[in-house]
């Protein structure tokens, strides 16, 4: 019994602590690429991850819009490239999102930055190389004395960071040539004043004022490291030295009091179903890193509008102030809509404009009408092409029910509607993953035509086999 007690206590403690650990909310983004060194014209996947305050991966807590962009590293050789698509909508529950690509355009270093309202941004440095093969550079590397190896701390310049409890300055150490096989290059990082440094694989190592960073064999750069803010506004100097007594490089970053720079606009979700007509929106002012401000001074009017102009907002504008740092509104969609992408704008006077894109499904009654009408046309087409009967109205001919043009068309309309509803309700979702396009007006019409065309065959079999038998039995 004594041996069992510690195990029981341990299980109880794990049970008590587990919900708290698993319910951690994301506070920042992490950006990574499959290959941090690419050649001109090549593409590499870009991966987004959500991290908690301790830099541990967690699930995305709600639907979020994430913007990606490329920036200058201010390095010796500035490269160029494109990130697409942007923005991307990441659904709730996702821990990773990788449907993004970086395409290299010009040789040099490029900074990829990801931002999302309410999360600290993520950055990664990518080196774009000319057509020279990396394998040859690894097999026949340029010989450098370790003490004189050329390297850079990138990005070399940062815009001032807002002094909040989430923003950090992110850096990487980059070298001109890949580290030869069997070797690692170590660097000592010092900060003045001494602040926290997050580094290492998955950023799970932490130092105060000092850290050791490595570049592994075959690599052009180190893992990113994060420099935290000092206790108050001011500058932090970062110095990197090749160990044991090699070259030294230095840079500096400033942290300033947060001020409103952006307007934030968020929707509760970014896919609007066929049955919805009201979408809740949230509006707030953000600092330079797109994090919410704890305090707002003055009064700021945010005006809401849609790109199409057929939607309405309640209220049409939101006023933010020190007593109301966040505001809410509702987007009202028209009852007649065919669906598609819808851009929503939040204009903050002449300072900034926020934009989100919603994927709006067609109204449910429009879908049902299109499915029914498509079925009617499908049955009509097959009747004219295959049946060819001159009869328009249903009638008995030689003991057999001839549905005629009207009967076939009406039954086909019903068949088209049934097929569409089967897809919409998920009954036939195994067919070519049709669940990914349900709610589409085009899909409703196509399924209606398909179901109507096939419905005539079913109706013909029914009338030729079942109904004649009943007629003969009555005779």
Strand arrangement of the beta sheet that strand 312-314 belongs to: 262-267, 278-286, 326-332, 312-314
pLDDT at 158: 86
pLDDT at 474: 44
* pLDDT one digit per residue (tens) for the chain, 475 residues: 455 454 444 444 444 444 444 458 999 999 999 888 899 999 999 999 999 999 999 999 999 999 999 999 998 889 999 999 999 999 999 999 999 999 999 999 999 999 999 999 999 999 998 865 444 454 445 444 343 348 999 998 888 999 998 999 999 999 988 899 989 999 999 999 999 999 987 888 889 999 999 999 989 999 999 999 999 999 999 999 999 989 999 999 999 999 999 999 998 888 887 778 899 999 999 999 999 987 888 899 999 998 877 789 999 999 999 888 899 999 998 877 667 788 999 999 888 999 988 888 766 555 555 555 555 555 555 555 555 555 555 655 565 555 555 556 555 555 555 555 555 544 444 444 443 444 455 555 455 455 554 555 555 544 454 444 444 444 4
Packing angle of the helix pair 467-474, 441-465 (nearest 10 deg): 30
- Measured over all CA atoms, what is the biggest interatomic distance in the chain, rounded to whole angstroms? 110
pLDDT at 200: 85
pLDDT at 289: 94
C-beta of residue 412 within 8 angstroms of C-beta of residue 453: yes
DSSP β-bridge partners for residue 78? 109
C-beta of residue 242 within 8 angstroms of C-beta of residue 185: yes
pLDDT at 214: 93
Report how far Cα 70 is from the mean position of its chain's Cα atoms: 17
Alpha carbons 263 and 349: distance in angstroms, whole number: 10
pLDDT at 14: 45
171-201 as b/e: b if 16+ CB within 10 A: bbbbbeebbbeeeebebbbbbeeebbbbbbe
pLDDT at 395: 59
pLDDT at 382: 56
Q: What CA–CA distances, in Å, run from 170 to 152, 222, 424?
A: 14, 12, 46
Q: What's the token pair of residue 421? A: 């509803």
Q: What CA–CA distances, in Å, run from 55 to 206, 260, 295, 393, 458?
A: 11, 26, 26, 72, 60
Q: Which domains does the chain possess?
A: 26-132 (2.60.40.10), 136-257 (2.60.40.2550), 262-360 (2.60.40.10), 364-474 (no CATH)
pTM value > 0.85:
no
pLDDT at 349: 86
Packing angle of the helix pair 404-424, 364-382 (nearest 10 deg): 140
> Do the strands 262-267 and 248-256 form a parallel or antiparallel pair, or are they unpaired?
unpaired
pLDDT at 406: 59
C-beta of residue 419 within 8 angstroms of C-beta of residue 412: no
Q: What's the token pair of residue 47? A: 């991966």
């Amino acid at each position: 019994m004594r041996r069992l007690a510690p195990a029981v206590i341990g299980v109880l403690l794990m049970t008590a602590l587990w919900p708290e650990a698993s319910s951690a909310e994301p506070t920042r983004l992490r950006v990574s690429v499959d290959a941090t060194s690419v050649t001109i014209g090549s593409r590499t996947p870009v991966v987004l991850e959500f991290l908690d305050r301790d830099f541990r991966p967690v699930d995305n807590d709600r639907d979020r819009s994430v913007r990606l962009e490329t920036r200058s590293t201010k390095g010796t050789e500035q490269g160029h490239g494109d990130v697409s698509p942007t923005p991307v909508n990441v659904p709730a529950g996702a821990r990773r999102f990788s449907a993004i690509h970086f395409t290299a355009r010009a040789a040099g270093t490029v900074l990829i930055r990801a931002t999302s309202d309410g999360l600290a941004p993520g950055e990664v440095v990518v080196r774009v190389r000319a057509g020279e093969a990396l394998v040859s550079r690894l097999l026949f590397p340029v010989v450098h004395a370790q003490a004189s190896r050329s390297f850079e701390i990138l990005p070399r310049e940062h815009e001032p960071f807002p002094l909040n409890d989430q923003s950090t300055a992110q850096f990487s150490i980059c070298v001109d040539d890949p580290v030869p096989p069997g070797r690692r290059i170590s660097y000592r990082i010092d900060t003045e004043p001494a602040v926290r440094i997050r580094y290492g694989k998955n950023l799970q190592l932490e130092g105060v004022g000092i850290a050791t960073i490595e570049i592994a064999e075959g690599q052009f750069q180190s893992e990113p490291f994060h420099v935290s803010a000092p206790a108050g506004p001011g500058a932090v100097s970062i110095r990197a030295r090749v160990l044991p007594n090699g070259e030294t490089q230095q840079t500096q970053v400033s942290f300033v009091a947060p001020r409103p720079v952006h307007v934030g606009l968020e929707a509760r979700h970014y896919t609007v179903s066929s049955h919805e007509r009201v979408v809740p929106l949230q509006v707030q002012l953000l600092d330079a890193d797109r994090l919410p401000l704890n305090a707002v001074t003055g009064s700021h009017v945010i005006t809401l509008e849609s790109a199409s102009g057929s939607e309405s907002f309640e209220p049409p504008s939101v006023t933010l102030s020190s007593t109301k740092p966040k505001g809410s509104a509702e987007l009202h969609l028209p009852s007649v809509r065919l669906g598609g992408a819808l851009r929503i704008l939040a204009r903050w006077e002449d300072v900034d404009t926020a934009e989100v894109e919603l994927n709006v499904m067609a109204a449910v009654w429009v879908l049902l009408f299109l499915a029914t009408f498509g079925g009617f046309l499908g049955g009509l087409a097959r009747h004219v092409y295959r049946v060819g009967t001159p009869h328009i109205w249903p009638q008995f001919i030689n003991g057999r029910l001839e549905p005629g043009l009207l009967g076939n068309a009406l039954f086909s309309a019903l068949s088209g509607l049934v097929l569409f509803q089967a897809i919409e309700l998920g009954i036939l979702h195994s067919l070519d993953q049709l669940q990914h396009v349900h709610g589409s007006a085009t899909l409703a019409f196509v399924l209606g035509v398909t179901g109507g065309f096939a419905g005539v065959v079913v109706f013909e079999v029914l009338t030729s086999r079942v109904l004649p038998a009943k007629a003969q039995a009555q005779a």
